[in-house]
Structure 1
């Protein structure tokens, strides 16, 4: 049985990495998927994979730091499918700076994507969910929102904000039958992380060191994080809201 048959799922940052893996899994479970991303090439590629497997969905290009583009994308998805049952707030960026080295513009960029973008997406989608009688939101945070991580000041702060926004929204919208949860992945082998490692003087050595920091001794695959997203969005998690689920190979248990 398909757990998400005919559910309308909107995924920000759905073109690559965790978002792409989630889009494919939702589609395989019968969902109708809207992929929203500024990466047109990979967004269209992800959609084509869904369609090739017999799934349903659309790709909408846009940048979630701009309210008008968010509102336009949500409206287009609503017009196409008649509703939004599940929002996966996944888009995010990294930033390799400590506080004293970070340009103010870089701080603002990270906050605009990682935190303000989640607010804008939720602001646009929640009225639709309220009108239809409920829904589920899953935000992508990070273990960096639960603990410190070297040379990642804005990233840590933004992901900590995602966690608190999740808890606050869970309280506000419980009465509307809208559940709000977030995942906190450990290091996951997405294209973004691969690019970061390639900037190191010894990429393979850096990868080995970071992977061994996780008690399971390896990185996560995007599909493993996506499975956790699907769980929190599903009826199997019907009594879970305001939760932060680490999917981190034991990192935060140390």
Structure 2
């Protein structure tokens, strides 16, 4: 038997990266899964029309539905269709998000509004639309994709970090509001992950290989986090096996948040 047998799940940003890895894992463990994305593609298609490079589209047996998390009507329609076709919603993975670079002077008001509209208000819209279905579930869980940027100060990430700080606080407040309804709310805090979005950032860098080495080196384990590793953490938090876990953030960051290593001397034991 699978951990998610008989359960249904909705994953936003489910056509690539962490979202697709999570949707695929939940389905492999027995869930019926709908992926909401701007570029869901067609089942079994080689790519998602109009999507950036590295967004393959939603493969079978996952249900791909188009949704724009900045548009409340689009969100409500997609969530309702997912609930209708899946037979309800037990798990919501609020994963859709975008990145942003620069210091406090580098982005104008419009860019701040745009990134908050996706990364924070987008989660609000999807959770709000899904709550009637989650409240009807006997195993309801929401997992928000947060970031190490919510708990550690990273250079040139002030806008992105601000949105993820809001997600962390929102997760805890939602958990307090919804615990009496039987809806658990948690979040995962990935470190720098090997995803299509990060790969696009690397390609835009003056020296992509050097930038990859630098991003890998700032995580104590010395490598980027994989999308599959984050998906495993999401699956744990979404699972009925974690039924006493709510209001928690789970770091998947190669030790970046919690470890403070001494500088290498070259004399460490192998």
1:129 partnered with 2:144: no
TM-score (norm 2): 0.89
Give me the whole-angstrom Cα distance separating, in 2, the residues matched to 1:61 and 1:36.
6
Partner of 2:268: none
Compute the RMSD of aligned alpha carbons.
1.3
Partner of 1:180: 185
Partner of 1:63: 68
Maintained 8 Å contact 1:182/1:243: yes
Q: Deviations over 1:224-250 (max 9, x none)?
A: 100000000012211100001110000
Query: By how many angstroms is 1:132 displaced?
Result: 3.4
Query: By how many angstroms is 1:43 displaced?
Result: 5.7
Q: How does 1:31-180 map to 2 (within 5 A)?
A: 31-41=31-41, 42=47, 45-48=56-59, 50-51=60-61, 57-133=62-138, 135-180=140-185
Normalized per residue, the structure richer in helix is 1
Match of 2:204 among 174, 199, 212: 199
Larger radius of gyration: 2
TM-score (norm 1): 0.94
Q: 1:148 aligns to what SS in structure 2? A: coil
Give me the whole-angstrom Cα distance separating, in 2, the residues matched to 1:76 and 1:219.
36
Partner of 2:220: 215
Partner of 2:8: 8
Q: Deviations over 1:117-163 (max 9, x none)?
A: 00111111112111334500000000001121111121000000000
Query: By how many angstroms is 1:47 displaced?
Result: 3.2
Gaps of 5+ in 2: 42-46, 50-55, 261-270
